Amino acid sequence: MKRIGMLTSGGDCQSLNASMRGVAKTLYKNLKDVEIIGFNEGYKGLIYGNYRIMSPSDFSGILTQGGTILGTSRQPFKQMRVPDENGLDKVEAMKDTYKKLRLECLVILGGNGTHKTANLLREEGLNVVTLPKTIDNDIWGTDMTFGFQSAVDIATEAIDCIHTTAASHSRVFIVEVMGHKVGWMTLYAGIAGGADVILIPEIPYDIDSVVKAIAKRTKQGKRFSILAVAEGAISKEEAKLSKKELKKRRLDMPYPSVSYEIGDAISKKTGQEIRVTIPGHTQRGGSPDSYDRVISSRFGAAAANLILNKEYGYMVGMKNGDIVKVPLEEVAGKLKVVEPDSSIIKEAKLLGISFGD
């Protein structure tokens, strides 16, 4: 009998269940004797041996269900080599659980941090296959991650709703979109929602350029402006700071988030009324959209196929519409960012969208 471990780690997203279903359906269909062990709350379950034996019915009816049936948690990669409060070596504990349960392989669904730990487990000799999960779409080696499209839909809807109220009140509205390190979601939702200004971490902004873009619209007789701002947007001055200095600046700032700081600066410079809307974790909630259901099912089938072929140490990814396998050592530790001179940014600028640069 083959025993396959499965876990979801890091922030949740809409299509985790659809992805696990894809893996499970393919395994149950193509292996005579297979048992799936589900670890509760990500790597925590693997570390502390907290698991349950899954049955095919657990994976039934979950294609459209958001969240994760296994639960998840954030277990920072940096802490993996640091013993827990009882002195437990977490990496050794994970290896022990794997060995005790006589697992053939671990299927790990997660984002960037999760992939660093998955690669560490591979280096430690475990068989690992991963699936690219994150609403941020920032995993290196894949054009698309599952969760991204569904989250973009929610952020877009937030901007759509703001449009009517912004037009009625003649105000400047800021919609803050998730994404601390990368701006993929803000870029896509901003374009889809018709934002006038898009601020992302990859393109540091100059507040005077942002104000200029708003003033230009006012001059054209437009009564409102909408800004899509990534939660990790940074100014040109902040871009000069070290990571540590920026972190300190953010902790010290008297605003709940960057959008409020930007809003305050615009208000002081223009006298215009500003409102900030933060959809926050609603962006990770609810059902996956049809696009995510399709790619999750494809990723799941492809990941299971790697197991059927005993091909371990890979993440399944997507390149030009096809599913590919990417070696974990190539994925771990890299970030897929929005390139400031990429075609999508050029087209957005042609449309008249300001990036505040």
Q: Would you name the residues annotated as active-site residues? A: 136
For 105, which DSSP code?
E
* Rounded CA separation 138/91 (Å): 26
Beta-strand runs (E) in 135-188: 146-147, 172-177
- CB closer to ligand F6P, 65 vs 73: 73
Q: How far is the CB of 279 from ligand F6P (least distance, A)?
A: 11
User: Partners of 244 in the beta sheet?
Assistant: none
Q: Residue 242's CB: how many other CB atoms inside 10 A? A: 8
Beta-strand runs (E) in the chain: 2-8, 34-39, 51-53, 105-110, 128-134, 146-147, 172-177, 197-199, 225-230, 274-277, 314-319, 322-327
Torsional sign, CA 23, 29, 34, 37: positive
In contact, 174 and 325? CB cutoff 8 Å: no
- CB closer to ligand F6P, 166 vs 203: 203
Q: Residue 211's CB: how many other CB atoms inside 10 A? A: 19
* Rounded CA separation 308/24 (Å): 12
Q: How far is the CB of 132 from ligand F6P (least distance, A)?
A: 12
Cβ-proximal residue to ligand F6P, closest one: 178
- CB closer to ligand F6P, 104 vs 138: 138
Copy the structure tokens of residue 170.
Answer: 């003649």
Q: How far is the CB of 247 from ligand F6P (least distance, A)?
A: 14
Q: How far is the CB of 177 from ligand F6P (least distance, A)?
A: 8
- CB closer to ligand F6P, 11 vs 263: 11
For 205, which DSSP code?
B
Q: How far is the CB of 189 from ligand F6P (least distance, A)?
A: 12
Characterize the bridge pairing of strands 2-8 and 225-230: unpaired
Tell me the CA distances in angstroms from 260 to 149, 256, 274, one per residue in order.
26, 7, 9
In contact, 119 and 77? CB cutoff 8 Å: no
Q: How far is the CB of 10 from ligand F6P (least distance, A)?
A: 6
> Using CB under 6 A as the criterion, which residues of the chain lie in contact with ligand F6P when the complex forms?
11, 74, 111, 134-136, 178-180, 231, 284
- CB closer to ligand F6P, 225 vs 259: 259
- CB closer to ligand F6P, 284 vs 336: 284
- CB closer to ligand F6P, 187 vs 307: 187
Q: How far is the CB of 136 from ligand F6P (least distance, A)?
A: 5
In contact, 42 and 20? CB cutoff 8 Å: no
